[in-house]
Amino acid sequence: MAEQIKDLIEKINQEGIRAAEENAREIKKEAVEKAAVIIEKASVEAHGIVLAAKEEGALLQKNTLALLQQASRDMLLGLKKEISSMLDALIVSNIRQALSPEELANILASLIKEASGKEKAQVIVSLKKEDCAALEKYFIGKLKDQLKAGITCKPSEDVLGGFVISYDGGRSHFDFTDKALAEYIGAYLKPALKSVMKDIF
């Protein structure tokens, strides 16, 4: 009887161990399957995140490059405009220096002398106030005697350098102001400047 009980206990133990081992194998198999699903899902998600990050990085790089190109174009346009403005200011400054009262008197004498053979009319010269005063003080009397023409020197707030001359009492005029001369000179210099800037930029 004791032998039978012992065999029964042995049998129960073996069946319990077998059942436990089988159960453990099932648990392990299920755990491995779940782990594989989790790893697959994580791999897909990680791939998606990496792909999205790459696309976002590429878009950011493209946008940054576009912004840099636009900023570069704006800077070059601003620089070209600034250089053009500097050229205009330089031309005007040199014209104003060149057109001293003495030089203005010489130019006016030549212009009035050339027109003196035509119809006799009042010559009106419009200049900035200081140049007008200097011309009246030192040169107009001499010019009138020399050219036997009626010359009126008229100060003008619109003229900052150079002069405007009318041979017909103001009905028409010729513009020799610093601005008009600068535009005329600039029309010849700016294409050359543009060509130089094209080579540089």
**What's the CATH number where 183 sits?**
3.30.2320.30
Both 70 and 119 in one domain: the answer is no
Both 45 and 56 in one domain: the answer is yes
So what's the pLDDT on residue 86? 86
Both 17 and 92 in one domain: the answer is yes
Domain count for the chain? 2
Does the pLDDT value for residue 49 go beyond 60?
yes
- d(Cα 28, Cα 142) in Å, to the nearest integer? 122
**Where residue 37 falls among pLDDT bands split at 50, 70, 90?**
confident
Q: How far is CA 32 from CA 8, 28, 39, in A?
A: 35, 6, 10
DSSP-assigned letters across all residues of 125-186: EEE-HHHHHHIIIIIHHHHHHHH---EEEEE-TT-SSEEEEESSTTSS-EEEEHHHHHHHHH
For residue range 94-118, list pLDDT tens digits in order.
Answer: 888 888 877 887 887 787 777 665 5
Domain boundary among 83, 98, 113: 98
For residue range 126-151, list pLDDT tens digits in order.
Answer: 888 888 887 777 676 666 665 555 67
- The 10 Å Cβ neighbour count of residue 84 is 16
- d(Cα 90, Cα 84) in Å, to the nearest integer? 10
By residue range, what is the domain housing residue 170? Answer: 100-200
Mean pLDDT over each residue of the chain, to the nearest integer: 79
Both 13 and 82 in one domain: the answer is yes
Does the pLDDT value for residue 164 go beyond 80?
yes
Both 112 and 63 in one domain: the answer is no
Residues 143-171, mean pLDDT to the nearest whole number:
77
Domain boundary among 50, 71, 98: 98
Both 83 and 127 in one domain: the answer is no
